[in-house]
Structure 1
Amino acid sequence: MVLHDYQFDSKYKTSVAYFSMEFAIHQALKIYSGGLGFLSGSHMRSAYDLKQNVVGIGILWSYGYYDQGRNENGSLQADFIRKHYYFLEDLGIQATVNIHSQDVHVKAFYLAAGVFNSAPLILLTTDIPENDFLARTITHKLYDMNTETRISQEIVLGIGGVKVLKSLQHQVDIYHMNEGHAVPLVYELYSELKDMQEVKKKVVFTTHTPEAAGNEEHNINLLHKFGFFNGLSLEKVREISLMKKTDTFNLTVGALRAVKMTNAVSKFHGEVANRMWKECEGRSEITYITNAQNRRFWTDKGMLGALDEHEDYALISRKKHLKRILFDEVADQTGKMFNPDILTIVWARRFAEYKRPGLIKQDLLRFKAMLESEKYPVQIIWAGKPYPFDTNAVNTFNELIHISKDMKNMAVLIGYELELSGVLKKGSDLWLNTPRVSREASGTSGMTASMNGSIHLSTNDGWHPEFSKDGCNSFTIPPIDHNKPPEEQDYEDNKNLMDMLENEIIPRYYQRPEQWTQMMKKAMEDVIPAFDSGRMAHEYYVKMYDI
């Protein structure tokens, strides 16, 4: 079958299969949780824009990640609702993978390039009548909390994905693993090529985070029992993975040792990753390709037109219009009426401890005084999806909801998916990013905010150091000693953040609006082309695929 309905640019004729657990392609296709999916979605859009020979391989999650609802008291309710998609094409083929000594049938669906203007996707499911109930549940929920289900999902993605491509007789030159979830594909390729050096020539790997949750570990005997290594003996697995003296198999380490090239996702993350894995014997070289987002998809056309025409009044007017659209959503969800003339801060991304969603309100009295100032008031909005089984993350989300009940200028929104993300980025004035430095490998939400004239206010982590000209196109929270205990870091970062807001940022917005407008324009200008995913998709061919 011919998967692409477009002619390839001659620069990008190398055939690439891009494996990812999640793709955020369109609001209507709910197979993603957050940043990893947003990134892979933009990669597929730019692969389409550049006419690259790329196909995405993912999983058709029957219940998606989860749908955010509210309990009676307003707190987070995680709803699992079965999804149906009539725009996907049944490819009419099945592959079989062996999981825990049982054959599991994998069916493939196809998202054509023209449906959402992305590279084509092949989405795999085990939720079909040919499988028993347990096998059907493998592809029910993205990031299932059950360890054995997670392992099974990775087998389906890695081994099932390679087998489906073979069934389609689709020639693949490079297999790109976006995170370590697809590592089983290495062992499927080894069963055919019988030589790890030959396997390495065909596989590249992107590592996305220094966080433990993104560097998954399992007992090697459990993985072997489940078929993660595609029937290879444990002795052979230990030999080719160089894990001879440990029973812990780290997916990132397994990937680092099985590919020709690895990339981190920002310059700073490249430094962190090389330090983190410097003792990893037999690992591939780790370079960096900074993450990016697709301008065509994310940028408001009205903002872009006003920028191109150098019409400041039109830019200001359009931003106010976009704020009103966002505030309609705030009013609909919370009953609060926000004012488009008031400085509006947004913190919106995955709720993870190291991202510190509640940092700004740590000194609660100071935070309330800032929001309730009569002279220079501030409005603030939170949104994002905590992992539904992470009690601490859910509690943080619910605590913010509880605090917001007594504050007319504070709102916490549910439903943080592609559509709401776009509304927030277009309607905010200030995009707040507060990770502990060195913990945010890249982060991309601030890129798409900057594309829409929302000023990035961030600790100096991830992509921000490559972009930021403090006070010109963004604001940078002053550096601190990151060897101090986390509680001390949080205290200092909160103080520095509030000092900046009160002494520099809020006065600039209200007292020097022309300077604010120039910052908006500079942010929109500087984020392109360096942080447009066209640059990123091209760089993968140059640095990873064609070497």
Structure 2
Amino acid sequence: MKLKNFYVKPVVPDSLQPLYEVSYNMWSTWDKEAERLYRRINPELFRNVKHNPVEFLHRLSSEDMDKLSKDNGFLYELNKVYDKFKRYMSFEGYYTDENGDDIPTHSDDIIAYFSMEFGMHESVAIYSGGLGVLAGDYLKAASDTGIPLYGIGLLYTYGYMNQRIAIDGFQQEEYLENKWYLKAVKETTDANGEPLIFPMKIKGHNVWIKIWEIDVGKIKLYLLDTNIPQNDISARCITDHLYIADKHLRIQQEIILGQGGLKALDLLGIKPKVFHLNEGHSAFLIVERLKQLVLDHKMPFEKAKQLIKQSTVFTTHTPVIEGNEHFDESFIREYFKEDVEALGMTMERFLQCGKVDNSRIFWLPIFAIKYSKFRNGVSKLHGDVSKEMWKDVFPHLHDDEVPIDFVTNGVHLQTWLSMEITYLFDRYLGPDYMHKANRTTLWDGISAIPSNEIWEAHKRRKEQLVTFIRKKLVHTLQRRGAPAKKIKKASNALNPQYLTIGFARRFATYKRANLLLQDPERLKKILTNPLRPVQIIFAGKAHPADVAGKTIIKDILNFAIQNDLEDHIVFVEDYDMDIARHMIQGVDVWLNNPIKPMEASGTSGIKAGINGVLNLSVLDGWWPECFNGTNGWAITAGDFYSDITLKSSAEAQQIYDLLEEEITEKYYEKRDSYFPE
């Protein structure tokens, strides 16, 4: 007997059709009024579905739908949100030229933005960390400003791993299948309403690719999927996992992203003028563009190369050489033999496109650098690091002349501002800041916001953070079958009155989440100071293969348990964008202490900063460009040491000193007995 799953689309009353339309656009996940609308319907259900508007609608009963369709108060609020959505979608974009004039964007000035991951919302699990979240913010910001841009990525069956902390404190990985029919993902169809599916050859074999789409405000994100019946099992699994360890599956993913992405754009009739490669994963796009220009348009190879260079932008995010995408040359020979022969090139000549020496390694960033006009790091310091890293690509230039610039990462305001701070921005700046953030005079209004209103907004969000963390801890312990006494203790963890430090990012060794453990006794005294207590919230995932990173998580948990500090140090399991929002909006101080200069940008600190949270950070990534001596604290004591042990010791001591002598003092000594200086 054969069983088949059927998808049953919910019946939506006519009066609720606007809610259905808004829910299938990612705009509904970042607009605060839309969020309030879902919470009004059923706040508990909205939390349980991870704030996913589409699944939320599917989980509502027909009785609930019928009741809402007749609720005049709700329909009034729905129409307000829908009108706001329609106004947003009708906004006409512009850019500001070098003379300060606003020039309307033209619909033909299309940018294609390629990325291996996109972090738009916790319910759409096709991201792992900062690179993906930056890509998601990039699409949202392009939508806000009306830039004609299309995103290209992959639709992962499982995405990245879910984190579970075992009873021994060691990270375990869990892989949950994405239920795409319950998310804001739609089939891309042709003029006849048929799904768009196309073949491409990988090593001489046809792989069939289906195109899906997500509406990100005004922007279309197209996602490519091989998990379809037309493929055999070996091809269906290509798009199973983000950052798969298997090198053959990895290169196949990147061939589909780059070469398949261009084929998809052609099928859709989209003709970009600029191709933006977000990291080297999509660099095989260059091969497909060469094939089109040389084989289809009969263009001489050198002319085709120059045309590609003039229309390609490459952004590098990785300051650690080993973290940049690369393959042994045997993989290139195996997968690109037919393409290279068709182009009339020798394999040796093609391999030099991704090399700088006689090694066997083909570097995708080098390939992208050689075929792009503009290359950039993601902060000023990272631009310098990237110049040093890739200077051998330009052997005839002085180090300072290496043509790699920088564009410091930013964040999408509407996604990361708390509801409380958003209300203040709307009240004192007006709604224009969303579309006109480049106008510096607009931001003068921030100084008009009374300090007590900012402090009150922060206090409310901090209380919400503590409640949120407690629920997360209780849920984790209940899942493990912990005793009732331990669960009750977790339900009272943290105190909203205490100075609260946040540390959340990938648990890689260079990010040094355990730096504060250098002097356990001193840390314990700081945390338990009866007059000025401190608490720390940790969150983050270690890469599945990173045993050292997993050990750091275990060490932090063990320190809290062994010193009876579980109400002062907590680790929140399964870090995602929801946890990130709560933390960056609710903590008092954001801690960032990587080994300099290994943090390319570090946008979590920016997200904290826009919510009024103070940064305590090494002068790495974005922080050197913003730190002015009064808006946070710089960790500099290790700058003069090359020895990592001495550097870490000096920086840990400086953090202790700052906490004991300055940060806690400022926090607890309230001006006018009301809020900190």
User: What whole-Å deviation, never above 9, does each CA across 1:11-66 have from its counterpart, x for those lacking one?
Assistant: 43321000011111122111001100111111111100001011111111111111
Written as runs of structure 1 = structure 2, the 5 A alignment for 1:94-113 is 94-113=197-216
Bigger RCO of structures 1 and 2 (CA < 8 A, at least 6 apart) = 1
Counterpart in the other structure of 1:529: none
The match for 1:545 is: none
Candidates 501, 512, 535, aligned match of 1:345: 501
Is 1:278 the counterpart of 2:399? The answer is no
> Larger deviation: 398-407 or 44-53?
398-407
TM-fit CA distance, 1:214: 3.0
Per-residue deviation, 1:217: 2.1
The correspondence of residues 439-454 of structure 1 with structure 2, limited to 5 A, is 439-454=598-613
- Aligned-pair identity (%): 32
Identify which of 80, 103, 114 aligns with 2:175: 80
Q: What SS does structure 2 have at the residue aligned with 1:424?
A: helix
- Within 5 Å, give how 1:428-447 maps onto structure 2: 428-447=587-606
- Which residue of 198, 203, 207 corresponds with 2:312? 203
Corresponding position of 1:268: 381
Tell me by how many angstroms 1:486 deviates. Answer: 1.3
Native 8 Å contact 1:16 1:174 kept in 2:
yes
Choose from 361, 366, 369 the match for 1:248.
Answer: 361
Give the unaligned 5+ runs of structure 2: 1-24, 26-87, 95-102, 189-194, 295-303, 429-447, 474-489
Task: State the partner residue of 2:269.
Answer: 169
CA separation of 1:36 and 1:228: change in aligned 2, threshold 3 A:
farther
How many Å separate the matches in 2 of 1:464 and 1:243? 32
Quote the offset at 1:227 in angstroms.
3.4
Q: What SS does the aligned partner of 2:513 have?
A: coil
2:221 equivalent to 1:152: no
Distance 1:446 1:184, change over 3 A: same
Matches within 5 A, 1:390-539: 390-405=546-561, 406-407=564-565, 408-470=567-629, 472-481=630-639, 484-513=642-671
- Tell me the residue number matched to 2:456: 317
Measured after TM superposition, the shift of residue 223 of structure 1 is: 2.1
Alpha-carbon distance between aligned partners in 2 of 1:235 and 1:169, rounded to the nearest angstrom: 35
CA separation of 1:224 and 1:276: change in aligned 2, threshold 3 A: same
Paired position in structure 2 for 1:179: 279
In structure 1, what is the equivalent of residue 326 of structure 2?
217
Separation of aligned partners in 1, 2:406 and 2:164: 38
Partner of 2:241: 141
In 1, Cα distance between the equivalents of 2:639 and 2:252? 42
- In 1, the alpha carbon distance for the partners of 2:223 and 2:671 equals 48
Please say if residues 208 and 214 of structure 1, whose CA atoms lie closer than 8 Å, have aligned partners that are also in contact.
Answer: no
**Cα distance in 1 between the residues matched to 2:120 and 2:165:** 26
Give, in whole Å, the separation in 2 of the partners of 1:440 and 1:516.
Answer: 36
Structure number with greater Rg is 2
Contact 1:440–1:462 (Cα < 8 Å) also in 2: yes
Return the alpha-carbon distance in structure 1 between the equivalents of residues 267 and 240 of structure 2. 24
1:242–1:366 Cα change, 3 Å: closer
Residue 518 of structure 2 aligns with an amino acid whose one-letter code is Q
Contact 1:238 1:244 in 2 (8 A): no
Task: Give the stretch that moved more between structures: 225-234 or 360-369.
Answer: 225-234
Note the alpha carbon deviations across 1:326-359, whole angstroms, 9 max, x for none.
1112222331421111100000011111111111
After superposition, the CA RMSD in angstroms is 2.4
Q: More helix by proportion, 1 or 2?
A: 2
Q: Which residue identity is paired with 2:581?
A: G
**Distance (whole Å) between structure 2 residues aligned to residue 514 and residue 357 of structure 1:** 36
Are 2:175 and 1:19 equivalent residues in the alignment?
A: no
- C-alpha separation between the residues in 1 aligned to 2:338 and 2:349? 10
- The equivalent residue for 1:369 is 525
- Paired residue for 2:187? 90
* Worse overlay, 481-490 or 371-380: 481-490
The 3-state SS of whatever aligns with 1:98 is strand
More moved, 247-256 vs 87-96:
87-96
Indicate the SS of the match to 1:385.
coil
Residue of structure 2 equivalent to 1:530: none
Contact 1:98 1:227 in 2 (8 A): no
How far apart, CA to CA, are the structure 2 residues paired with 1:122 and 1:346? 35
Aligned residues: 513
Listed one character per residue, the Cα deviations across residues 194-224 of structure 1 (whole Å, up to 9, x for unaligned) are: 3211211221100112113431221122123
SS at 1:112 equivalent: strand
| Stretch moving more, 446-455 or 507-516 | 507-516
Match of 2:421 in 1: 303
Quote the offset at 1:298 in angstroms.
0.9
SS of the residue aligned with 1:227? helix
Structure 2 residue 188 is matched with structure 1 residue 188: no
Partner residue, 2:469: 330
Equivalent residue for 1:29? 124
Counterpart residue identity of residue 333, structure 1: K
Normalised by the size of structure 1, how large is the TM-score? 0.89
> How many Å separate the matches in 2 of 1:269 and 1:299?
26
SS in 1 for 2:659: helix
Shifted more, 509-518 versus 138-147: the winner is 509-518
Give 2:133's aligned amino acid.
Answer: F
- State which drifts further: 349-358 or 396-405: 396-405
2:667–2:676 CA contact under 8 A, matched in 1: no
Amino acid at match of 2:117: E
> What is the rounded CA distance, in whole Å, between the counterparts of 1:255 and 1:517 in structure 2?
51
Residue 58 of structure 1 aligns to a residue whose secondary structure is: strand
Distance 2:576 2:392 in 1: 39
* Structure 1 unaligned spans of 5+: 520-547
